[in-house]
Amino acid sequence: MASGTTAPPPPASLPRIVAASLIGTTIEWYDFFLYGSAAALVFNKLFFPDSDPLVGTLLSFLTYAVGFAARPLGALVFGHYGDRLGRKKLLVLSLVMMGGATFAIGLLPTHASVGAAAPVLLTVLRLVQGFALGGEWGGAVLLVSEHGDARRRGFWASWPQTGAPAGQLLATGVLSLLTAVLSDDAFGTWGWRIPFLLSGLLVMVGLWIRLSVDESPVFKEALERSESRREQAEAEKLPLVAVLRHHWRDVLVAMGARMAENISYYVITAFILVYATTSAGVSKQTALNAVLIGSAVHFAVIPAWGALSDRVGRRPVYLLGAAGIGLWMFPFFALVDTGSFGYLVLAVTVGLILHGAMYAPQAAFFAEMFATRMRYSGASIGAQFASVAAGAPAPLIATALLADYDSSTPIALYVIAAAVLTLIAVGVARETRHRDLAEVTAEDGDPAATSPAAEARTV
């Protein structure tokens, strides 16, 4: 493809667009991760009190996994309308849905009050969270990717990716503060509700910023071209069909690329709260503080990895992260098993630095795979369908393996197997660093595809 020639936006607009994407993804990941941390710490007692503690944790993580199951549906729906109506409208809707569901969780009655209805209501709200997040990621990274130029796309597009560690940092920080200042009884009775209710205020801030930005210029140009071509009407109605027809290999690559990234992240940040407190004898506060420190470092290194991908390519950086996370798993658990806070911080921090090498270039890498009028659908489907097989069951599988084998070895092997899958997927992918998003076509790689006739058929 041609080297990046897309005209960058005015200097003052791109930071505002990045801020709008970042604040939204931070809030959405805050909401999503808050549930994961609460599932590991208190939901087993509040919503599944009749179960054995470890079984209750498994059931709690099962409702956590339900949110991932809804993410592909969110990717399909938001991707479809995002490719037809624009990125901005759908991003506003996803933020409102996620924030509303999280605020409602903070008002939920527990099992002690309404019995079996409590976990049912919790599961329904978790489904809404997953549906909203399934549509958020693709739109947020595309809004930034399609505004910037190719030379620094990896750097700028990595900033919405920092919303994940920022959300984790915020969620873990609030929980850590509350567990530090409240007794266990107070936190279990009412303190756990505070961070969920706080989401309502955060959503108002996010909406104020997100409503102030413009639609992607690349999308607007593609929309104008498509509206002038009546023969393309049927394909415009079904971006999903076009994605599966023209970009099915790219969807498979994206899914494979997500395996190690997704599984390792939830093992390092969610399952570790269970493992460190039950097997390593670490206090709940200590485990939360370790994740807090690791998330701060994670936030800082993601833009650096993104910038490196602009210099050496998306694939080399991604492959480094996948190989590194596989090699780190046995040292990771060995350090956690010491029970030392310093070693626990080291284990989590190094793991998240290596994860960042995969997560940072992912936004630009996935965006560069797909044509403009099917990019929201393609990037979202590839990312979110993989989450069902990767992130969704990761804490559940890790907890079950710990219950069955009472050892970290099978959990480490589980993450290593995911790393191998990612190495294969990214290894067979093509480098995308120099692509101009305005000219990516469904037949990318075919010289004829860059002709005006080919563009009229596919972009």
| Confidence check: pLDDT of 303 > 90 | yes
Q: Where does the pLDDT of residue 129 fall: very low under 50, low under 70, confident under 90, or very high at 90 and above?
A: confident
pLDDT of the residue at 455: 35
- Chain mean position to CA 393: 15
| Confidence check: pLDDT of 448 > 80 | no
Report the percent of the chain where pLDDT is more than 90.
29
Angle in degrees, CA 265, 305, 20, rounded to 5: 80
Return all residues near 230 (Cβ < 8 A) that are at least 6 apart: none
Mean pLDDT of 80-89: 78
What letter would DSSP give residue 215? P
pLDDT of the residue at 444: 47
Would you tell me the crossing angle of helices 87-105 and 13-38 to the nearest 10 degrees? 30
Torsion, CA 389, CA 393, CA 399, CA 404, rounded to 10: -60
- Look over the chain and give the mean of its residue pLDDT values, rounded to a whole number: 81
Single out the residue of 62, 45, 66, 193 nearest to residue 127, CA to CA: 66
- What three-state secondary structure class fits 432? coil
CA distance 390 to 2: 34
Report the percent of the chain where pLDDT is more than 70.
85
Lowest mean pLDDT among 110-119, 196-205, 207-216, 350-359: 207-216
CA distance 58 to 39: 9
Buried b (16+ CB within 10 A) or exposed e, 222-246: bbeebeeeeebeebbebbbebbeeb
Q: Given CA atoms 282, 419, 324, 431 in this order, what sign does their dihedral have?
A: negative
Q: Where does the pLDDT of residue 440 fall: very low under 50, low under 70, confident under 90, or very high at 90 and above?
A: low
Mean pLDDT of 406-431: 95
Single out the residue of 266, 261, 219 nearest to residue 239, CA to CA: 219
pLDDT of the residue at 80: 79
Single out the residue of 388, 311, 326, 359 nearest to residue 158, CA to CA: 359
Mean pLDDT of 112-124: 85
Mean pLDDT of 192-221: 80
Single out the residue of 450, 446, 378, 316 nearest to residue 142, CA to CA: 378
pLDDT of the residue at 50: 67
CA distance 360 to 251: 18
| Confidence check: pLDDT of 450 > 70 | no
| Confidence check: pLDDT of 164 > 90 | no
pLDDT of the residue at 203: 83
- What three-state secondary structure class fits 368? coil
pLDDT of the residue at 55: 66
Give the pair of three-digit tokens for residue 187.
Answer: 């936190």
The reported pTM is 0.80
Q: Where does the pLDDT of residue 241 fall: very low under 50, low under 70, confident under 90, or very high at 90 and above?
A: confident
pLDDT of the residue at 84: 76
pLDDT of the residue at 438: 67
pLDDT of the residue at 317: 97
Lowest mean pLDDT among 151-155, 231-235, 356-360: 231-235
pLDDT of the residue at 456: 33
DSSP string spanning 7-20? PPPPTTHHHHHHHH
Q: Where does the pLDDT of residue 237 fall: very low under 50, low under 70, confident under 90, or very high at 90 and above?
A: low
Contact assessment for residue 386 and residue 418, using Cβ atoms and an 8 Å cutoff: no
Mean pLDDT of 85-103: 84
| Confidence check: pLDDT of 149 > 70 | no
Residue bearing the bigger pLDDT, 7 or 339: 339
> pLDDT, tens digit, for every residue of 15-69?
878 888 888 788 877 877 787 777 767 777 788 776 666 666 667 667 767 777 7
Residue bearing the bigger pLDDT, 432 or 35: 432
> pLDDT, tens digit, for every residue of 269-284?
888 888 998 888 888 7
Residue bearing the bigger pLDDT, 13 or 452: 13
pLDDT of the residue at 5: 45
CA distance 213 to 217: 12
> pLDDT, tens digit, for every residue of 310-368?
999 999 999 999 999 999 999 999 999 999 999 999 999 999 999 999 999 999 999 88
Contact assessment for residue 4 and residue 435, using Cβ atoms and an 8 Å cutoff: yes
DSSP string spanning 306-343? HHHHHHH-HHHHHHHHHHHHHHHHHHHHHHHHT--HHH
Single out the residue of 87, 123, 132, 117 nearest to residue 105, CA to CA: 123
> How far from each other are the two terminal CA atoms of the chain, in whole angstroms?
14
CA distance 352 to 330: 15
| Confidence check: pLDDT of 72 > 70 | yes
